[in-house]
A and B are shown apart, each in its own frame.
Chain A
Amino acid sequence: MAENIPMLALSPTMEEGVIVKWIKQEGDTVAQGDVLCEVETDKATMDYESPVEGTLLQITATEGQSVAIGDTIAVIGEPGEQVETPKRPQLQNVSVDEEKLQEPVAEPILPETSVHPLLTDKPRSSPLARKLAELHGLDITDIKGTGPNGRVVEADVKQASKLTPVAIAPVSRPGDEVIEITPKRKLIAKTLAGSKFTSPHYYLKVNVIADNLIETRKKLNADSDHKISINAFLIKFVAEVMQRHPVINSSWQDDRIIQHGTIDIALAVSQPDGLIAPVVRQCQSKSLTRIDTELKALVEKTKAGSLTSADYANSTFTISNLGSFGIDEFTAIINPPNSAILAVGKMSKQTVVGNDDKIQIHNCMTLTLSCDHRIIDGTIGAKFLTDIKDMIEGSV
């Protein structure tokens, strides 16, 4: 029973060996343990001892030849025995590496990691997530958690805030003054940061010729003691146009959109300690005069600092007008839970190229509408804004 003698791993890391020299020759009798040949491994030259006894019938790997582990280097058997063309020995038809590849990759069975049933109905967020949410002025309960069992984790807050990890604390300088944050400032920070970081804003801009508006206002005010403000006009126009575009008058709530039944428009008013936006309610059913009257009362209350939450909470749309501060145009942050805000720049004389290609001079102002894209698609926002433009320019 002739036996193929394979190259063996003679060092732990060897992959193939070079036959340096054959010590035994074909026809020699060998005992188990006799040195057959010398093999150079990746480490050293080693003696290859015969694993079996018998007669060396054939040498199949010549001196100088490099042989992979498992490949036949010689055949040993009984004297005179017929040698078949040596192949790799039967047992390593599959080489070691191939066998490894063929092994099924077992699914590791890991210890139970799911949340214990006793713990499932509790609110979940990681301490780091809570800390980070506070830093960004976010309400942790508004954030959808992607961790185990809906746990809000750092990544969720980052996603919500669209910010990279942690706000960098400013380096202190000599003469720095620490200003404690008032509750109102804190609320503004939280509300506006929440809006900016959770509602995807986009901005639409139009230039409006206001000649007719100025003319109309002048006429109305000339006939009466009641001087109607530009802001009252704007509120009225928005309320009118919004009835044609009710989508604008909506709020995003979790995974739903609430389209409001009344149009309650807020006007941003600045105060020494921050911004506030008193609301004119039910604008869809109020006259211009009525709107103006209510607006004036609210502004008075604001200046007196006597607004209550009933006066400023729960608007459905907001207007911010920085025209009187000399600002040409600006973009505003949506005032939650609104889905849009109208930013109004100053009125000024501008050159306009008329339909007759002649240069004309008009009173103009720029309106910028910030929209929450979750609710308002671009075309809807655009129609809403151009309808306002038309209404202002027509002023009827």
Chain B
Amino acid sequence: MPELTYREALNQAIDEEMARDDRVFLIGEEVALYNGAYKVSRGLYDKYGEKRVIDTPITEGGFTGIGIGAAMAGLRPIVEWMTFNFSIQALDQVINNAAKMRYMSGGQFKLPIVFRGPNGPAEYLASQHSQALAAFYAHTPGLLVIAPATPYDAKGLLKSAIRNDNPVIMMEAELLYNTKGDVPKEEYLVPIGKADIKRSGTDVTLITFGKVLHLATDAAEQLQTEGISAEVLDLRSLRPLDEEAIIASVAKTGRCVVIDESCPVASVGSYVAWLVSNKCFDILDAQVELVASIDVPMPYNHRLELAVQPSAEKIITAVKKVLYIN
């Protein structure tokens, strides 16, 4: 199986779906001539031309709304946000329009549109450019939200998202774009709404998504050397959540640590922690722990920004807490 970067996997997904369906097009800042701010769209402008790979002015609200209008009228846009920090400019369009149009019209419209870009902190970017915004979107009924952590999942989920008739928010990460993984040559899809056990274990369930999945698997490896068997459940989809998979895993282990790089208040992680304590109340051996970012805006200084975010050490500490190991 060929090894691809996360970036190449995304590029393949967009390329394949554009070849498959003429209605699919890519729109956003610097996606065409510049080949994408993070080079996800490399080569697509040359291949498909300016009609289907569209550079926009710096106007997130405007081009996001244009994408939504085009989707209402029957096209299948992929809207690239240079980062999710800028998507806040377009939040009105997504929340008030994309998420509501079908419901408010009594089911008259489909909105086949994907909004994608890097989410969450990278390095040395300070607070405006280092936000993990999953909760903003996962909070909103009418949207689907996905956050793949591996090249395989990124490609399969993006293809599913492009083929889906609903607005899909896809959260990538700058620090994931260069990570590598096996991606099959043959066509495949990863279904939206299905979690994946990235590592099997029996003592504790680590539930996570996106970039910090890799911290969770690192923590699990280290715990193994101490004889602790951690299961790592990658949610992959945040809306809808795969409740079955969450319950099945916690039913097996009886202990749960949720890892979410967002701030802790009203986050996807805190919702999952509630879900586990609600659905698995009788079989939990300990309180559910949440490893999140510290509840402050992101500082610029590297030492400080690392201290804010989840780490393998923080995950291990939380695991020991739920296992009553001092």
Contacts and interface: CB of A to CB of B under 8 A. Distances in A.
Direct contact of A and B (CB under 8 A): yes
Contacts, number: 22
Contact of B279 (A116, A123, A151): A116
A389 interface: no
Contacts of A116: 247, 251, 279-280
A122 B247 contact: no
Contacts of B281: 126
Contacts of A149: 282
Contacts of B280: 116, 119
Interface residues of A, number: 11
B112 to A, nearest CB: 28
A46 to B, nearest CB: 33
A115 B280 CA distance: 8
Interface in B233-255: 247-248, 251
21 contacts: A116-B247, A116-B251, A116-B279, A116-B280, A118-B247, A118-B248, A118-B251, A119-B247, A119-B251, A119-B279, A119-B280, A119-B282, A119-B283, A122-B282, A122-B283, A123-B282, A124-B282, A125-B282, A126-B281, A149-B282, A151-B282
Nearest to B282: A124
Nearest to A113: B278
A355 B162 CA distance: 105
Interface of B: 247-248, 251, 279-283
Contacts of B248: 118
B247 A115 contact: no
A118 B282 CA distance: 11
B19 to A, nearest CB: 41
Nearest to B251: A118
Interface centre among B248, B251, B281, B282 (most CB of A within 10 A): B282
Contacts of B279: 116, 119
A119 B283 CA distance: 7
Nearest to A118: B251
A115 B281 CA distance: 10
Contacts of B283: 119, 122
Given A122-B282, A151-B282, 14 more contacts: A115-B282, A116-B247, A116-B251, A116-B279, A118-B248, A118-B251, A119-B247, A119-B279, A119-B280, A119-B283, A123-B282, A125-B282, A126-B281, A149-B282
Contacts of A119: 247, 251, 279-280, 282-283
Nearest to B280: A119
B243 to A, nearest CB: 9
Nearest to A150: B282
